[in-house]
Amino acid sequence: MFYLLLAVACSSAIGIIFKISEQRESNRYLVTSMNYLTAVVFSGYMLINSSLPDINVTSNLGEFAGRLAIIFQANKGLLSFSDSVTWSVILGIVTGWIYCTAFIYYQISVRKNGIALSGMFSRLGILLPMTLSIIVWQEIPTQIQTIGIVLCLFSIILVNFNFKEGERFQITGSLVLLFFFFGMAIFCNKIFQKYAQLELKPLFLFCLFLSALLLSLTVSLKHARALKKQELLIGFSVGVPNLFASYFLILSLDQIKASIAFPVFSAGTIILMTVVAVIFFSEKITPKNGMAIVLTAFALVLINL
């Protein structure tokens, strides 16, 4: 649970820093690109300074695919170190594309559906990896833990949705895509942890953020403007916790069932951000936010029983 709490802290830091950037009217696309660049530099440094053997990607992808298929079919075991290298590179590139695409759809959804609904659907995206982990790897929580998971999910809805009388919303295509890409972005961390050698985390993260950076730059160029020093600073400040949020989440998934880790990660991030906003940004805590904090705390107790 320690690694999961560190992942929650890092994820919350990302949201808090983005909140500061919005107050200063920063270009979020440029901030995001700088964030990915920072994560690339730090993960590259971690990779260079890791005590790993020679890293070589297999030249015969057909044979690699065959060995990977055997692991998938058996649904157990780890890839060899050399195959884990190839898997880290391929999965890292795909995951980076998904990460950046999720952010792009978040921007689209905010314009079409508003911040509240977009925030709720992005956070509820953890339902996808949670469900897949239960189906594929039978990571089934106990009955008491299930109650805790349900409370976590309810707290996410409670914080993000405005329960005004008669208020309704329509599930649009952008919300569905937002839900899907955020869910798959998190799920890819689980796929890496499940089949690859964990000491290759720096390689996986380096490929992930490099891929996200390249896609992010293409989008940023469409919204190009003179880069401010504060945007450089904010991007750097986001990049470090962004890297370590994934790093610690992968470590936590090696110790905790994904069906438990994902809802705690999502709900815990929201609640911690809410608490920080109240303490440091003088935001008033609403009754529903207060209830969400209590429910999440109670859920964490149930999940750890």
DSSP 112-143: HH-HHHHHHHHHGGGHHHHHHHHHHH--PPPH
Tallying the residues shown for the chain, one arrives at 305
For residue 166, is pLDDT > 60? Answer: no
- Tell me how far apart the alpha carbons of residues 252 and 290 are, in angstroms, rounded to a whole number: 27
Q: What type of residue sits at position 67?
A: R
Residue with tokens 């660049």: 37
Q: Which residue range is the domain that position 238 belongs to?
A: 2-303
Q: Which two tokens stand for residue 262?
A: 């994902």
Predicted pLDDT at 116: 63
For residue 45, is pLDDT > 80? Answer: yes
pLDDT tier at 140, thresholds 50, 70, 90: confident
pTM: 0.82
Q: DSSP state, 286?
A: P
Predicted pLDDT at 145: 79
- Average pLDDT of 96-102? 89
Residue with tokens 């809802």: 263
For residue 261, is pLDDT > 70? Answer: yes
Which residue has better confidence, 186 or 28?
A: 186
- Tell me how far apart the alpha carbons of residues 7 and 13 are, in angstroms, rounded to a whole number: 10
Which distant-in-sequence residues (6+ apart) come within 8 Å of 73 by Cβ? none
Which residue has better confidence, 93 or 157?
A: 93
Average pLDDT of the chain is 79
The distance between the two most distant Cα atoms of the chain, rounded to a whole number of Å, is 62
**Shortest CA distance to 102 belongs to which of 94, 239, 134?**
94
Number of domains in the chain: 1
**Read out DSSP for 171-190?**
--HHHHHHHHHHHHHHHHHH
pLDDT tier at 207, thresholds 50, 70, 90: very high
Residue with tokens 């950046």: 100
- Tell me how far apart the alpha carbons of residues 258 and 5 are, in angstroms, rounded to a whole number: 14
Which distant-in-sequence residues (6+ apart) come within 8 Å of 301 by Cβ? 148
pLDDT tier at 56, thresholds 50, 70, 90: low
- Average pLDDT of 2-10? 88
